[in-house]
């Protein structure tokens, strides 16, 4: 028998023997820990599985080993010739444009023109299944096209129908089931349409200044040498303005999103684990109370305090580790379950497997939280006087455990915080989230104690049922603190997330019906500008037409320092790729000069720009600094004349970099426009403009915002699901606290019956008690949740915060529902006992 082997330390032998008592007193302990660890293991495993999926499918997602792309400016034949020496070279182009049916109705699509080699990796799956040539080559008068089933549905198109792109008609030959490199495309505003690259030139969509991304994908002989080849490209064409990506860095935006999302969900999951930690702590406190006699006996028999601590610490750790293992096993299956049952929820197919680093981290968090929440009652048990076995008149006191145990708790908490912040890509967000969680915990605890104090000091109520309900809030062993803190923290999290999401939704919906324009029009040719104005002017119900010139350019250097070497405190994105540029005689209405001044009308001096103030601050720029900006292949040295505060929420055109009109007026460029249209005018404007101007692309604001909303909802589902785990953990803690007080409740209800109370009276008193508890918890959670929501919405997002009734009612309903349901379930059980059976056993 292991528990008798003298080779094993005596404390461990005793711990094993104590475990013979079974795990019945540890159900809540285990439930809380399993739930929290499962959430973290799920999140970690899913994040790693998607990352691994991205890594494993890097070539397929990128569509090659290396991708070279350039915005607006075509890659020259000479450059193509050199690139083709590196391996198989596939040519493609991407742009947003209007697809039209023969009757002229049109919609925005993401158009991709590919050559015969597409795809270099993976498979383009279509219905009916056809090869590249059959899909896209010219047959008779028409090139072929493959379109998204969504577009077919929206425009009531079928295979064999015609689709107009620019100036020519294509024959729909198949519907796209899956594009191998879809995840690499980033945010898309419309459904996919694919055509032959050669056909694109005939559409009339390619003009100077068109917003086209010219892409080359290369399959090299030895993919392991991809970094060397990338370096070779950089060396050969250092100033070509190419964006070069490898299969290791494909879908960079998606990778960043997955990382950030994973990190945020870990924080939310940690909150669930902290809530569970309260249940763990309560369970251990209750267990140690039940073990008082055994502990005192051990001490009487000569066990030192340290031995007693080790005996129970070992037990708790054994049960904790068992719970953690169960949580890990349950959590590691989430990627497989999602891939099997909800494949469309994931951006790429996750690579199935066991991810030891993710599981290890979840286990470590579980272990640290267990230590943090159990060291206090265990430490107190260490100093439990042996005389407790004999004496009960001594006031129990609430002596804190020794300093060593307090340090142990602090060390565990510190390690959790350090890990969460240290492993995060956004340390500030993590620190703020954890600080908010810790402050919320403190406030919830303090409020709960205040409520108990106030309940105790309230004047005696005449109604005995009310008196009993209030007394139950503050009596020794009352569940008030446990319920308010544990359920309150989960609800606070839920309330803040719901309010943040609700405010964002309101804002988006408000923009659609309010200040946002109905349409953005892009690729308006300079030659069409007058006609465009006239056409719009002729449509009834259309107003507020705003036109801005549109160019793309890349910051090459700042004060002589190459952009890639410039040190910044943020806004690196401004330097890392092509940026939208414009010019204007007048300061835009939504902008305000905060430093320097605006150029005078008709300015004709050396090139000058005005920059967004926030970006300029991040980049450390001052008025008078010089930048070299490459526009359409020409390097322009410009001087900063002013900084502007930009109102990004104005939903109009906003540019970080604005040129004086003199510098860019004569450069080839297109125009963009916004307009407002109400009611039927919106449909008329869309149809009229897209039918009149073949190359103009109309982006309907409502659809963009709806897509943003869909994305937000997907994100919100993931966050809410994790937050609900925190509420579940809170429910477990509440159930544990109520169960712990069951015996007292049972005795109390029996005594009340003995003195003449009827069931319904007692039940009403309990109902009132749990109603009070539910309302109090909901009120505090709403207060704290609203505070957190306000801080994020007003201070981080610069959006006006509104207390929305929907989330508030939900929080109150959840709180009341849970407390009353669990409280009354326990009370009904207590009420069903007959006085005799209980009193005989006392």
Partner 1 sequence: MTASDAPTTNPIISLNDVSLTLSSGAGPVRIIRHVSLDILPGETVGIVGPSGSGKSSLMSLMTGLEQVTSGDLIVDGLSLPGCDEDRLAKHRLDRIGIVMQAFHLIPTMTALENVAVPLELAGIKDAFERAERELDAVGLGHRIEHYPAQLSGGEQQRVALARAIAPEPAMLFGDEPTGNLDGNTGHAIIDLIFELQRKRSSTLILVTHDPSLADRCDRVISMSDGEIVDDTGNTASVQIADETAERTS
**Residues that bind partner 1 in the complex, under the rule CB under 8 A:** 3-4, 6, 10, 13-14, 17-21, 293-294, 296-307, 383, 385-387, 389-391, 393-395
Report whether 107 contacts 155 (CB < 8 A). Answer: yes
Q: How crowded is the C-beta side of 227, counted as CA atoms within 13 Å? A: 3
Residue 127 neighbours by CB distance under 10 Å: 12
Q: Which is nearer to partner 1, 396 or 602 (CB)?
A: 396
State in angstroms the smallest separation of the CB of 321 from partner 1: 20
Nearer to partner 1, 296 or 478 (CB): 296
Which pair of tokens denotes residue 816? 């009341």
Nearer to partner 1, 20 or 460 (CB): 20
Judged by CB, which is closer to partner 1: 396, or 679?
Answer: 396
CB of 458 to partner 1, least distance (A): 22
CB 749 within 8 A of CB 826: no
In the complex, the smallest distance separating the C-beta of residue 316 from partner 1, rounded to whole angstroms, is 15
CB-nearer residue toward partner 1: 73 or 295: 295
**Smallest distance from the beta carbon of 410 to partner 1, in angstroms?**
24
Cis peptide before 93 (omega within 30 of 0): no
How many other CB atoms sit within 10 Å of the CB of residue 533?
14
Q: In the bound complex, what is the minimum distance in angstroms from residue 487's beta carbon to partner 1?
A: 32
Place of tokens 């049972």: 746
Burial class (CB in 10 A: 0-12, 13-18, 19+), 170: buried
Under a CB-based contact definition with an 8 Å cutoff, are residues 763 and 828 in contact? yes
Residue 429: partners with Cβ closer than 8 Å, 6 or more residues away: 263, 264, 267
21 or 149: whose CB is closer to partner 1? 21
The pair of three-digit structure tokens given for residue 288, joined into one six-digit string:
């140690």
Q: Which residue, 47, 29, 716, is CA-closest to 362?
A: 47
Nearest distance from residue 389's CB to partner 1, in Å? 6
In the complex, least distance from residue 21 CB atom to partner 1, rounded to whole angstroms: 5
Contact call for residues 551 and 669 (beta carbons, < 8 A): yes
Q: DSSP characters for 725-762?
A: HHHHHHHHHHHHHHHHTHHHHHHHHHHHHHTT--HHHH
Q: Which is nearer to partner 1, 21 or 526 (CB)?
A: 21
* Closer to partner 1 by Cβ: residue 12 or 237: 12
Nearer to partner 1, 20 or 840 (CB): 20
Q: How far is the CB of 6 from partner 1 (least distance, A)?
A: 6
Taking the least distance from each CB to partner 1, the nearer of 26 and 242 is: 26
Residue 306 CB, nearest distance to partner 1 (Å)?
Answer: 7
Residue labelled with tokens 């004060």: 559
Q: How far apart (Å, rounded) are the C-alpha atoms in residues 313 and 457?
A: 38
Q: How far is the CB of 288 from partner 1 (least distance, A)?
A: 15
Contact 247, 223 (CB under 8 A): yes
The candidate with the shortest Cα–Cα distance to 258, out of 62, 63, 37, 45, is 45
Element (H, E) at 146: strand 143-147
In angstroms, give the least distance from the CB of 304 to partner 1: 4
Indicate the residue among 85 and 392 with the shorter CB distance to partner 1.
Answer: 392
Q: Where would I find the H helices in 458-581?
A: 464-474, 480-513, 529-537, 573-576
User: In residues, how long is the chain?
Assistant: 842
Q: Are 627 and 638 in contact (CB under 8 A)?
A: yes
């Amino acid at each position: 028998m292991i528990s008798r082997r003298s080779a094993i330390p005596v404390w461990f032998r005793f711990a094993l023997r104590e475990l013979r008592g079974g795990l019945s007193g540890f159900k809540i302990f285990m439930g809380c820990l399993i739930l929290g660890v499962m959430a973290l293991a799920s999140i970690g495993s899913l994040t790693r599985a998607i990352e691994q999926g991205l890594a494993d499918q890097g070539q397929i997602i990128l569509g090659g080993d290396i991708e070279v792309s350039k915005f607006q400016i075509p890659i020259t034949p000479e450059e193509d010739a050199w690139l083709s020496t590196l391996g198989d070279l596939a040519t493609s182009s991407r742009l947003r444009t209007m697809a039209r049916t023969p009757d002229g109705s049109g919609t925005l699509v993401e158009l991709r023109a590919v050559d015969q080699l597409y795809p270099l990796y993976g498979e383009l799956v279509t219905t009916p299944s056809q090869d590249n040539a059959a899909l896209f080559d010219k047959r008779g008068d028409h090139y072929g096209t493959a379109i998204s089933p969504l577009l077919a549905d929206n425009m009531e198109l079928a295979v064999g129908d015609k689709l107009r792109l620019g100036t020519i008609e294509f024959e729909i030959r198949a519907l796209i089931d899956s594009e191998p490199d879809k995840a690499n495309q980033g945010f898309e505003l419309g459904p996919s349409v694919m055509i032959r690259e050669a056909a694109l030139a005939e559409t009339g969509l390619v003009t100077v200044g068109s917003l086209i991304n010219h892409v080359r994908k290369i399959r090299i002989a030895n993919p392991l040498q991809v970094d060397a080849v990338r370096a070779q490209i950089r060396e050969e064409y250092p100033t070509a303005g190419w964006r070069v990506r490898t299969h290791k860095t494909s879908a960079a935006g998606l990778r960043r999103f997955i990382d950030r999302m994973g990190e945020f969900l870990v924080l939310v999951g940690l909150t669930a684990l902290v809530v569970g930690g309260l249940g763990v702590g309560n369970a251990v406190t209750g267990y140690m109370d039940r073990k008082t006699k055994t502990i005192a006996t051990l001490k009487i028999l000569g066990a030192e305090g340290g031995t007693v601590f080790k005996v129970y610490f070992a037990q708790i750790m054994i049960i904790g580790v068992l719970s953690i293992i169960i949580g890990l096993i349950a959590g590691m299956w989430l990627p497989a379950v999602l891939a099997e049952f909800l494949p469309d929820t994931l951006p790429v197919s996750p690579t199935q497997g066991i991810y030891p680093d993710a599981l290890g981290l979840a286990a470590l968090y579980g272990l640290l939280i267990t230590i943090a929440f159990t060291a206090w009652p265990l430490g107190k048990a260490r100093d439990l006087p042996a005389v407790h076995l004999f004496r009960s008149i001594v006031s129990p006191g609430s002596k804190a455990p020794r300093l060593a145990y307090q340090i142990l708790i602090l060390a565990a908490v510190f390690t959790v915080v350090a890990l969460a912040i240290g492993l995060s890509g956004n340390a500030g967000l993590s620190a703020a989230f954890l600080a908010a969680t810790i402050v919320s915990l403190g406030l919830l605890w303090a409020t709960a104690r205040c409520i108990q104090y106030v309940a105790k000091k309230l004047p005696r109520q005449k109604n005995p049922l009310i008196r009993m309900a209030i007394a139950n809030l503050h009596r020794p062993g009352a569940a008030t603190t446990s319920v308010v803190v544990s359920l309150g923290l989960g609800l606070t999290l839920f309330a803040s997330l719901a309010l943040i999401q609700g405010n964002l939704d309101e804002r988006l919906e408000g923009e659609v019906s309010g200040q946002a324009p109905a349409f953005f029009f892009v690729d308006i040719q300079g030659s069409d500008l007058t006609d465009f104005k006239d056409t719009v002017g002729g449509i009834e119900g259309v107003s507020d037409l705003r036109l801005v010139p549109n160019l793309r350019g890349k910051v090459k250097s700042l004060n002589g320092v190459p952009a890639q070497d410039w040190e910044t405190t943020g806004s690196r994105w401004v330097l890392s790729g092509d940026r939208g540029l414009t010019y204007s005689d007048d300061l835009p209405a939504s902008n305000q000069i905060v430093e320097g001044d605006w150029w005078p009308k008709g300015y004709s001096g050396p090139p000058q720009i005005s920059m967004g103030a926030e970006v300029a601050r991040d980049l450390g720029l001052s008025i008078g600094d010089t930048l070299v900006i490459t526009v359409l292949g020409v390097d322009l040295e410009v001087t900063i004349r002013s900084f502007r505060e930009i109102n990004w929420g104005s939903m109009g055109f906003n540019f970080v970099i604005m040129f004086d009109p003199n510098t860019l007026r004569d450069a080839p460029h297109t125009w963009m426009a916004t307009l407002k249209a109400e009611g039927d005018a919106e449909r008329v404007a869309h149809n009229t403009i897209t039918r009149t101007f073949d190359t103009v692309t109309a982006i309907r604001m409502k659809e963009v915002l709806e897509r943003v909303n869909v994305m937000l909802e997907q994100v919100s589902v993931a966050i809410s699901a994790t937050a609900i785990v925190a509420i579940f953990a809170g429910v477990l803690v509440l159930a544990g606290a109520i169960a712990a007080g069951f015996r007292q409740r049972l005795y109390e209800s029996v005594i009340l019956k003995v003195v003449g109370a009827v069931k319904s009276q007692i039940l009403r008193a309990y109902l009132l008690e749990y109603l009070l508890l539910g309302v109090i918890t909901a009120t505090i959670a709403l207060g704290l949740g609203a505070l957190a929501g306000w801080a994020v919405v007003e201070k981080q997002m610069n959006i006006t915060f509104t207390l929305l009734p929907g989330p508030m009612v939900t929080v109150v309903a959840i709180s009341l529902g849970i407390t009353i349901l669990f409280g009354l379930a326990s009370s009904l059980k207590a009420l069903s006992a007959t006085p005799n059976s209980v009193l005989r056993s006392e």
